[in-house]
Structure 1
């Protein structure tokens, strides 16, 4: 399985420390033929500028089926082959992802899927301050992992731990859920808006964007399972995606 493959990026999670790779980013998306892909290991901040990507970008890479991950969507990526091709237009997005939506994670699990999209019937964004101890432990874990990386790796800029645990409460066909949000875009927006408006206003603005702007215009939640705990689902991305308008029957 070494032929070149393309994936439309939907998920790029906040960088996480890795004992084996120093730091990795959970990335997932959909192939042009409509199949989910989970890409790893992606050491995003080590990628050259022209290889770095964002949501809706189409990336190309040489994939391999992993030996230690039996989830059908997972692919090991040759980091040196990874490159950004182009960005999917808004028009191209219309209806393309509809077949991937499920009513709940339990429906996805019954289909043997470990990645899915859900249209929540309600949405509430909230946050919890992290203690000084939690922040110190988080930073120490990251620094330890980075020190275990290859001597040939470039030195990465220090990432400030997010001082808040960002969470999303939502309803789907299974009922109510409350999950931590691992979306890079969410955390990055908080840090950018904090510089402009202060922490409290930044959080309130995010709340307004998700609960009003996104929810009213069309929002998709991207969720995925954990390799070691296949029954546990995580919130990986909060995506602005229009709902397809069904034609009215005459």
Structure 2
């Protein structure tokens, strides 16, 4: 595929259950709206890049990357960077939120799923679709569950692989373990219900930022996260969900191999009144 122009729309919070290659899920869309998955990427990708001396996220930036189709992955969207260090990535520019995300909508909302059965049918062979934009008919609830507070041993062992972590730092310091899981419970256009975990990097970062501002009070931090993803998003924003699969669960043909890898949240459009 060689040099490819990609609008980065997704980075997920690292999970130790993922394989080494897929530890950080990074995805985006091409200029024609097609989805593309890029892995492996180093954890430093989450830190972004320097723009006028300030660290800036890659999200919603156009990048030029040397890519090739992964031959070990049956999912058509999966590609691998030729240079795994990402040192040769060209940052072209960012798409802003002007006119209620108009330009972002142009690229991210070209192909939308509304129906769960259609999505799951397309995830099977021969299509093997594994990255989509999904529009719920209604989000019923935002849910929070307790999770393990320590990284599993296999995550800690990844230090030995070299490029994931600074050699003088532990993974627990670089990427703290989220002690909670976050979910959206929603229905499709036929009223069929789904409950999917939100693995977006943004929700993890929001939790840690809220925890710092709350001086370590987890109850307050979780309430702030809930205010954002439930009170604000579900009353003020027109929510679309970026869904993706992991290779392992997609290959097992699980009942529903998708998780929420990103939330797209422009404001509701103002309706003109003629009365």
Give the TM-score normalised by the residue count of structure 2.
0.76
Q: Does structure 2 conserve the Cα–Cα contact (< 8 Å) formed by 1:14 and 1:183? A: yes
From 213, 217, 221, the equivalent of 1:202 is 221
Q: Does structure 2 conserve the Cα–Cα contact (< 8 Å) formed by 1:59 and 1:84? A: yes
Report the Cα distance in structure 2 between the residues aligned to 1:152 and 1:229, rounded to whole angstroms.
Answer: 23
Give how far 1:106 is off: 3.1
From 224, 227, 247, the equivalent of 1:227 is 247
Report the Cα distance in structure 2 between the residues aligned to 1:246 and 1:8, rounded to whole angstroms.
Answer: 30
Q: Does structure 1 conserve the Cα–Cα contact (< 8 Å) formed by 2:139 and 2:184? A: no
Equivalent residue for 1:77?
81
- Tell me, yes or no, if structure 1 residue 171 matches structure 2 residue 148: no
Give how far 1:105 is off: 4.1
- Tell me, yes or no, if structure 1 residue 192 matches structure 2 residue 228: no
Listed as ranges, the gaps of 5+ residues in structure 2 are: none
Equivalent residue for 1:27?
26
Q: Does structure 1 conserve the Cα–Cα contact (< 8 Å) formed by 2:69 and 2:79? A: yes
Listed as ranges, the gaps of 5+ residues in structure 1 are: none
SS in 2 for 1:142: helix
Equivalent residue for 2:35?
36
Q: Does structure 1 conserve the Cα–Cα contact (< 8 Å) formed by 2:242 and 2:260? A: yes
* Greater relative CO (CA pairs within 8 A, separation 6+): 1
SS in 2 for 1:37: strand
From 138, 155, 162, the equivalent of 1:150 is 162
- Tell me, yes or no, if structure 1 residue 240 matches structure 2 residue 251: no
- Tell me, yes or no, if structure 1 residue 88 matches structure 2 residue 95: yes
SS in 1 for 2:103: helix
Equivalent residue for 1:49?
49
From 135, 139, 142, the equivalent of 2:149 is 135
Give how far 1:243 is off: 6.2
Deviation sequence 1:119-152 (CA, Å, 0-9, x none): 221242221122xxx333x2433211122x1389
Give the direction of change, closer, same or farther, for the CA distance of 1:98–1:243 in structure 2 (3 Å limit).
farther
Give how far 1:196 is off: 0.8
Report the Cα distance in structure 2 between the residues aligned to 1:52 and 1:16, rounded to whole angstroms.
Answer: 23
Give the TM-score normalised by the residue count of structure 1.
0.83
Moved over 4 A (4+): 17-21, 242-248
Equivalent residue for 1:108?
119
Q: Which moved more, 1:99-108 or 1:215-224?
A: 99-108
SS in 1 for 2:93: strand
Equivalent residue for 1:119?
135
SS in 2 for 1:24: coil
Give how far 1:42 is off: 1.1
Q: CA RMSD in A?
A: 2.9
Report the Cα distance in structure 2 between the residues aligned to 1:28 and 1:187, rounded to whole angstroms.
Answer: 17
